[in-house]
Amino acid sequence: MTTRDEWPDLTALELLVSVAETGSIRRAAMAHHISQPAASVRIRGLETALQLRLVERHTTGARLTPDGLAVVGWADKVIAAMRALASGARALRTDQDSQLRLAASLTVAEYLLPTWLAPLYATTPAAVSLRMANSEEVAALFARDEVDLGFVEGSSLPDGLQGRTVYRDELVVVVAPSHPWARRRTALSAAMLAEAALVSREPGSGTRQVLEHALARQGLSASVAVELASTTAIKSAVGAGLGPAVLSRLAVAAELADRRLVAVGVDGLNLTRSIRAVWRVGDELSGPARALLGAIAGH
């Protein structure tokens, strides 16, 4: 049984995720407003606590080991859960009518919700709690009355939910700069993408559903070699050369801009998707949920 003494340091987990995102302990330290030596000490302490080697340090930066990639995948969920706990605790300190319980995918939560929530606070302050869930899990949260408004990706609505499209997202095939596809002068065919050993999210995630449906329309299926639980872990794995991935352009914009990842075109494959705000069939949104949907529409 795991004891409390074996629980990992949350700050060190956040630093490890930042190393995965930035490729550098120095840049991770800057993002957390601490010194590089302090960041190194925290990460080494995490390695000692877990008895795993998580980071390979070299002169040009830092790269996660396979164990480090796995820990980052779990760490994203731990950090998201702690943030949800903090938000939930704040909500309990306020009037129940000012609470807004949200559920969203990683892509929506990380890249869209912060921008959408800002106008809400200007007009309708609310205590927000956020559950990170893939598209299939969102419906289960509504069934247990644990969420007021959700956001799902993919080509269809979960059973029992109604919704409205609030964003059109584009998925893109990405590879490491060292990957042979990075030097291609012509686009891939759908068949070439289907034959490749992909790094992907788990079944049920909106990103994976869109890819699988797009390939199925051409009589093809995806070949997934590695499943990881977070976008951050997938980007790190692709950058380390484990294989190609299909991710939201929102999620890889920074990596594409500084050439840590390279986008590869695909002919004849529609990889756009709708992101929808969803709520229970028969319900009418009110209070902060209605205000948020209105803020998104006016964004």
Distance (Å, whole) CA 246 – CA 141? 27
How long, in residues, is the chain? 299
Q: Mean pLDDT in runs of 10 for the chain (299 residues)? A: 63 88 88 87 88 85 87 84 71 60 88 84 74 84 90 79 91 97 95 96 85 94 92 94 95 94 94 91 85 79
Distance (Å, whole) CA 47 – CA 12? 9
Q: Name the 3-class secondary structure at 230.
A: coil
Count each helix (H run) and each strand (E run) in the chain, helices first: 12, 11
Distance (Å, whole) CA 161 – CA 292? 18
Beta-carbon-side half-sphere exposure of residue 223 (alpha carbons within 13 Å): 10
Question: Of 276, 293, 258, 267, which is closest to residue 117 (Cα–Cα)?
Answer: 293
User: Domains plus CATH for the chain?
Assistant: 4-68 (1.10.10.10), 75-167+274-297 (3.40.190.10), 168-272 (3.40.190.10)
Phi-psi region of 134 (alpha: psi -120 to 50; beta: other; left: phi over 0): beta
> Phi first, then psi: what are they for 102, rounded to 5°?
-115, 155
Can you state the angle between helices 231-239 and 10-22, rounded to 10 degrees? 50
The per-residue pLDDT for 183 is: 94
Q: Are 256 and 262 in contact (CB under 8 A)?
A: yes
Beta partners for residue 56, in sequence order: 63
Q: Are 273 and 89 in contact (CB under 8 A)?
A: no
Q: Are 124 and 178 in contact (CB under 8 A)?
A: no
Q: Which residues contact 75 (CB under 8 A, 6 or more apart)?
A: 13, 14, 16, 17
The DSSP string of 28-63 is HHHHTTS-HHHHHHHHHHHHHHHTS--EEEETTEEE
The per-residue pLDDT for 165 is: 93
The per-residue pLDDT for 6 is: 62
Beta-carbon-side half-sphere exposure of residue 226 (alpha carbons within 13 Å): 22
Q: Are 218 and 269 in contact (CB under 8 A)?
A: yes
